[in-house]
Amino acid sequence: DIPLHRGLDRILIDEETLQARVRELGREISEYYGDRSPLLVGVLTGAFVFMADLARAMAMPLRVEFMAVSSYGQATQTSGVVRILKDLDRPIEGEHVLLVEDIIDSGLTLEYLIDVLQRRNPASLRLVALLRKNKPRSVPARADWVGFEIPDEFVVGYGLDVAGRYRNLPFVAVVKPDAVLGK
């Protein structure tokens, strides 16, 4: 057993539960695409772990690319402004794009990315998020597949960070309030 890191309050989703759900999502999404080969677009940095596991849980030969955006940076509250730090390398016109996110919190990041990608005329655009916070939002949080609905608490692990740390945890955990404040 990995001892719980200092700074963590409790494990919210353990490794086994995460892995089982990701495999299930992989099967469901594979069925949906059938013979079509999607282009998985991962949103760096948070989605890198989920993307790697999801891609391996999908049946068909597919391609992967990454975009890097940031709205939180070192902060724990969204700045409300999403910036593209790295764009896709190629046009996506005519592609079946599956956007892969780790979490929908305010919904602003996904809202912004949907808008940007839809303008590029993909054949289809679908969204999968591992986690979605259960909270009232100013923007609709539309996703075609969601791994887990979670309470509105600050979570880390499996790609998610606080100030860049904890992304490597194989589970999702709630951080102690003082860790969120950077003490």
List, by residue number, the catalytic residues.
105
- Contacts with Mn ion by CB under 5 A lie at 46
Within 10 Å of residue 140's Cβ, how many Cβ atoms? 9
Query: 3-class DSSP state for residue 173?
Result: strand
Is 154 a residue that touches Mg ion (CB under 5 A)?
no
Minimum Å gap between C-beta 113 and ligand PRP is: 9
Minimum Å gap between C-beta 101 and Mg ion is: 11
- Contacts with ligand PRP by CB under 6 A lie at 43, 45-46, 70-72, 78, 101-109, 161
Is 48 a residue that touches Mg ion (CB under 5 A)?
no
Is 72 a residue that touches Mg ion (CB under 5 A)?
yes
Please, which residue, 111 or 161, has the CB nearer to Mg ion?
161
* Residue 106: partners with Cβ closer than 8 Å, 6 or more residues away: 78, 80, 137, 138, 139
Minimum Å gap between C-beta 183 and ligand PRP is: 19
Minimum Å gap between C-beta 43 and Mn ion is: 5
Residue 103, binding choice from Mg ion, ligand PRP, Mn ion, none, Cβ under 5 to 8 Å by partner class: ligand PRP
- Apex CA 141: angle with CA 174 and CA 125, to 5°? 115
Give yes or no for a cis peptide into 45 (omega within 30° of 0): yes
> Which CB contacts under 8 angstroms, 24+ apart, belong to 74-80?
74/163, 74/164, 76/154, 76/162, 76/180, 76/181, 78/105, 78/106, 78/108, 78/109, 80/106, 80/108
* Residue with the shortest CB distance to Mn ion: 46
Query: Contact positions toward Mg ion, by CB under 5 A?
Result: 72, 161
